[in-house]
Amino acid sequence: MNFSERFGKELLFFDGAMGTILQKNGLGAGELPEIWNITHSDLIFNIHKSYIDAGADVITANTFGANELKLKDSGYTVEDVVSAAVKTAKLAAEESDKKVYIALDLGPTGKLLQPYGELPFERAYELYKQQIVCARDSGVDFVLLETMGDLYEIKAAVLAAKENCDLPVVVSMIFNEKGQLLTGADIKTAIFTLEGLGVDGIGLNCGLGPAQMLGFVKEAVKYSSLPLAVNPNAGLPECVNGVTSYNVGPKEFSEDIKKIIELGASAVGGCCGTTPGHIKATVELCKNLPVLPVEKKHFTAVTSYSKTTLIGEKPIIIGERINPTGKKRLKEALVNKDFDYIVSEAVKQVDKKSDVLDVNVGLPEIDEKEMLTLAVKKLQSVVNTPLQIDTSDTEALEAALRIYNGKPLINSVNGKEENMKKVFPLAKKYGGVVVCLTLDENGIPDTAEGRIKIAEKIIKTAESYGISKDNLIVDALTLTVSTGSQNAEITLDTL
């Protein structure tokens, strides 16, 4: 059975720390652990083997920081290091009498992405692509994005994986004691965003010990429809006589991991400070525990990089000030690329408690693809309210969806076959909640039954692309009463 066939259906045990064990074996401060795949391959092999002997089903290749930026002055290429790491992991796995899965372990680039840092989104994408291309045909079983603290960087990495290999993708994140990522997202915001991107599993790792993670595991299980992997530290680090150690031993660690499994984790292991002893104790205590079924959750949610707007629980306000229809001043701002004005309109709407901000830059005299992309970048660098990407230009839509930091509202799709063929693949790839207009090639039906029939067609077509009803909002459309005395009644009947 492959990894996807087992993950979420039976309990899997991941390995534990690599870096802290290498430090105990002489890895110096500032020295890259990944270089030891080449210079100390026997030690790396023995560490993998010790985790397999302890009962691990999954070992992570020693590739966490094997990206071009970190390897720049090392004398080794990404291909050198990744190939050596995977080769060593495979040798260790092949010595086992059971199936052992190998994860291509990818960590943060080490640089903050724009606008908070200098690294462009597409440059981050290329860094992850390099690592993935080197390993995709080498025999690894899945891609593990680990210790990730920035949703934007995660998105770049997920796209790099999905566009350049067919391997499952599991994203494991590091949350602080308040349950936030480095760039501000809480657990539900991260989950909704990543599920929109189509990842195969969610994870929590590093930063905290198993006892401190219990509440976060409960929160993740509440919102996620995906299998959950949890890999805590061996407690919290302590410096004793100049040596860093961790304060949770194997017995206490395994007892807390048991609670994590009982809350709904499908896979468990360890991060910093954990050893084969921690994994062995965990396997011995927990190997016969049942895995709770992974339940489909039903939320309609849009997100920014740090905020979620749930749709359907109460009326939400969508700010429509960034739409040039009937707005002379905004038209001038768009033509002149006056982003100060555009951003000021966004801030005013946020101050008035808008839950979502519509972004429409459609004018015949501008390059909509360029302008929409720029507008989205500018807006998400200033406000954290989720955005509605509002355009009928599918090239502009894809460009905006690609660089949007979150899960947006997409305005819109309709019942025309050609329109659905263009919009739904983008919504599936990048994630989003789609506004569905009840019109088709014949226009807007003049009966509620006609509009419902179109809505049903849109829903059925969306499902054929793998988009659930949770990610669809039906707009029954409204025509003025002056053009037909029954128009208001038809809209109400449709609703």
- Is the pLDDT at 157 greater than 90? The verdict is yes
Residue ranges per domain, the chain? 3-286, 301-494
- Cα separation, 279 vs 284, whole angstroms: 9
- Cα separation, 123 vs 134, whole angstroms: 17
- Could you read off the pLDDT of 25-39 as tens digits, one per residue? 999 888 999 999 999
> Which of the following CATH numbers is that of domain 301-494: 3.20.20.20, 3.40.50.2020, 3.40.50.11890, 3.50.50.60?
3.20.20.20
Q: Which residue has tokens 């690894």?
A: 140
Per-residue pLDDT, 482:
53
Task: Name which of 93-107, 136-150, 288-302, 479-493 the model is least confident about.
Answer: 479-493
- Is the pLDDT at 485 greater than 60? The verdict is no
Q: How confident is the model at residue 240 (pLDDT cuts 50, 70, 90)?
A: confident
Better pLDDT: 458 or 20: 458
- Cα separation, 191 vs 402, whole angstroms: 18
Task: Name which of 354-363, 444-453, 466-475 the model is least confident about.
Answer: 444-453
- Is the pLDDT at 309 greater than 70? The verdict is yes
Per-residue pLDDT, 448:
85
- Is the pLDDT at 490 greater than 80? The verdict is no
Q: How confident is the model at residue 93 (pLDDT cuts 50, 70, 90)?
A: very high
Q: How confident is the model at residue 245 (pLDDT cuts 50, 70, 90)?
A: confident
Angle between helices 394-403 and 417-430 (to 10 degrees): 10
- Is the pLDDT at 449 greater than 80? The verdict is yes
Per-residue pLDDT, 250:
98
Q: How far is CA 60 from the centre of its chain?
A: 20
Task: Name which of 136-140, 306-310, 335-339 the model is least confident about.
Answer: 136-140
Q: What is the DSSP string of 225-283?
A: -S-EEEE--SS-EEEETTEEEES--HHHHHHHHHHHHHHT-SEE---TT--HHHHHHHH
Q: Which residues contact 216 (CB under 8 A, 6 or more apart)?
A: 175, 179, 187, 204, 208
Per-residue pLDDT, 290:
95
Q: How large is the average pLDDT for residues 488-493?
A: 71
Q: How large is the average pLDDT for residues 445-474?
A: 96
Mean pLDDT estimate for the chain: 96
Per-residue pLDDT, 401:
99
Beta bridge partners of 267: 12, 229
Better pLDDT: 153 or 240: 153
Q: How large is the average pLDDT for residues 214-235?
A: 98
Q: How confident is the model at residue 286 (pLDDT cuts 50, 70, 90)?
A: very high
CB burial of 187-221 (b: ≥16 within 10 Å; e: otherwise) equals bbbbbbbbbbbebbbbbbbbbbbbbbbbebbebbb
Q: How confident is the model at residue 131 (pLDDT cuts 50, 70, 90)?
A: very high
CB 448 within 8 A of CB 473: no
Per-residue pLDDT, 479:
65
- Which homologous superfamily does the CATH classification assign to the domain defined by 3-286? Homocysteine-binding-like domain (3.20.20.330)
Q: How confident is the model at residue 477 (pLDDT cuts 50, 70, 90)?
A: confident
Q: How far is CA 71 from the centre of its chain?
A: 25
- Is the pLDDT at 243 greater than 90? The verdict is no
CB atoms under 10 Å from CB of 411, counted, come to 24
Q: How confident is the model at residue 78 (pLDDT cuts 50, 70, 90)?
A: very high
- Cα separation, 356 vs 180, whole angstroms: 21
Per-residue pLDDT, 481:
57
Q: How large is the average pLDDT for residues 474-485?
A: 70
- Is the pLDDT at 8 greater than 70? The verdict is yes
CB burial of 11-35 (b: ≥16 within 10 Å; e: otherwise) equals bbbbbbbbbbbbbeeebeeeebbbb
Locate 287 and state its tokens.
Answer: 């190997």
